[in-house]
Amino acid sequence: MTTAEVPSVGDLLAERYRLEEHVGGANGYRQLWRGVDVLLHRSVAVVLRSPGGEDAAPTMTAAVAASRAHVDSMVDVYDAVDEGRFAYVVREWVNGSSLRGVLERQQLESAHALELVASVADAVAALHEGGVTHADLHPGTILLSEDDRVMVTEPRNEPGNTQIEDVRALGATLYACLTSTWPRVVPAENTGLADAATDEWGRVLDADKVVPGLPASLAKLTADLLDHSQTPPSAAELAVDLRRLAETGGVEPTAAIAAPTSVLGAITLGRRGGGAAADAPPAGMKRLAVVAAVVAAVIFAGVVTSAVVFGGGEDPAGAEDQVTGEDTGTDTTSGAEGETTDTAAPTEVALTADSIRVVDPPTGDRNQSEGVENVIDDNASTGWTTNTYRGDANFGNLKPGMGILIDLGEAKEVASVRVQMTSAGATVGLLGGAEDPGDSSEGDQAIVDGFSVLADQVPDADTNIELKAGGETVRYIVVWVTELPAVSDGYKLTISDINVFAR
């Protein structure tokens, strides 16, 4: 594949996927892009491989298997196309941090490490059932999304990789969770972690020798998984064993010792169908009930403006924590020695179509309300779209901006508002007030003049942003847009989803 054949920003693949940003990878073999599905109006990750054809066949086969894996801990694969000169997989765009980003800061407690790796094992088991292997498991390809999910990136299914090697990689990932180091007896590209310590014969030290106090049974399980002289269990069997140990924090159940408390909080990964037998692997797990302290600091430090869409050895520098904003290293929800205060965690505010309306101050024509209810339907394929403005990104210099007013029902302490848009480049902020002055041109102007600023404007915003509100108590908020991204015939914006979190 020549340099001239490599897609560039703005190219439309399959007459559907517009490339917005080159995230990682060199001009050849494997690249990662942030894109937009122009038909469904949602952000996507495009994993491009060159050349296509026979060389890309394992990747295409793996993409099909991943799309059929009904497991919540596997990223959703939407499409796979082979154009000959190159092939590409289109998958879910995930905001957040890699597991590596967490482990670079500290290890996980035993119970949490076991639950997390069990979730990853669910995804691997589903792939194996579909006849493919992942072939690229390590903390850089396991994502912790900013909406509290543990997810595994799409498989590579490289020729020669076996299911046993995938299970050993699960063992190495468990070792990494416990020690923040990677055992090189399991090869992996660019894990981002230091090599595990070894003894004088070059053998990887048992995890409890690196981290004193780890349960001996957990250390033995990890060592056995890394021992190439032993045949490991299947990924599905391993998931069952990991959850059994997680119930006692890594101690064999006969010891009847409760799982330890962690500064990360208790990680409970939800399961489909509820009530599944404890000894059967769940259909899949994604959502964490609680992700506190360290994970919150890694994922939510500042405004989330991009996504973790990388794998293997193609991460751009610093990509594992693609967030902006100043991180002082402090945690406002923690007291001395890491003890949490009584401050309640923010929860998502339930909204209805009656809770929202468009704000269109003078000299707005007030005819752009159609579809505004779509911003609260949790469906990225629908949304509210402005008219097309010409001459200037600032709504053609006709008015100070436009926004979406949200009635929270009562005064609430607003923590943050997440906004998903189909195009990058808008300037977006957050306003707040105690009263709605009325659904009229004069009322909208009163909002512009009288509402306070809850979150400063974010210029040239990415497609997914989180506006930190600082905890001010208001009943009404406005997602306020002052500049629009460019389109082919002017300036226009579509907002797909808005989620409000308050106490």
Q: Are strands 269-271 and 194-195 parallel, antiparallel or unpaired?
A: unpaired
Q: How confident is the model at residue 234 (pLDDT cuts 50, 70, 90)?
A: very high
Residues 228-232, mean pLDDT to the nearest whole number: 88
Q: Are 294 and 265 in contact (CB under 8 A)?
A: no
* Record: fold of 3-92: Phosphorylase Kinase; domain 1 (3.30.200)
CA distance 141 to 150: 11
> Is the pLDDT at 232 greater than 60, yes or no?
yes
Q: Kindly report the CATH number that applies to the domain delimited by 96-327.
A: 1.10.510.10
Among the listed ranges 125-139, 321-335, 379-393, 438-452, which one has the minimum average pLDDT value?
Answer: 321-335
Q: Provide the β-strand partners of residue 329.
A: none
Answer left, alpha or beta for residue 135, where phi above 0 means left and psi between -120 and 50 means alpha: left
Q: Tell me, what DSSP letter sits at residue 280?
A: S
Percentage of the residues of the chain whose pLDDT score is greater than 90:
50
Band of residue 314 on the pLDDT scale cut at 50, 70, 90: very low
Answer yes or no: are the C-beta atoms of 135 and 156 closer than 8 Å: yes
* Residue 272 near residue 72 (C-beta atoms within 8 A): yes
Domain 347-502 annotated CATH 2.40.50.100 = no
Lowest mean pLDDT among 3-17, 170-184, 247-261, 286-300: 286-300
All CATH 1.10.510.10 domain ranges of the chain, comma separated, are 96-327
User: What is the per-residue pLDDT across 456-477, written as a single tens digit (0 to 9) for each?
Assistant: 999 988 777 888 887 789 999 9
Threshold 0.75, pTM exceeds: no
Q: Where are the beta strands (DSSP E) in 158-264?
A: 181-182, 194-195
Query: How much of the chain, in percent, has pLDDT values that exceed 70?
Result: 79
pLDDT at 344: 59
5-9, 128-132, 333-337, 407-411: least confident range: 333-337
pLDDT digits (tens, 9 = 90+) for 322-332: 222 223 233 33
Residues 6 or more apart whose Cβ sits within 8 Å of residue 274: none
Residue 61 has pLDDT above 50, yes or no: yes
As a whole number of Å, the CA-based R_g of the chain is 24
Structure confidence at residue 263 as a pLDDT band (50, 70, 90) = very low
Distance (Å, whole) CA 277 – CA 274: 9
Q: How confident is the model at residue 3 (pLDDT cuts 50, 70, 90)?
A: very low
Q: Contact, 257 vs 249, CB < 8 A?
A: yes
Considering the chain, tell me which residue range(s) the CATH 3.30.200.20 domain(s) occupy. 3-92
Task: Give the distance between the most distant pair of CA atoms in the chain.
Answer: 79
- Per-residue pLDDT of 402-440, as tens digits, reads 999 999 999 999 988 988 888 888 999 999 999 999 999
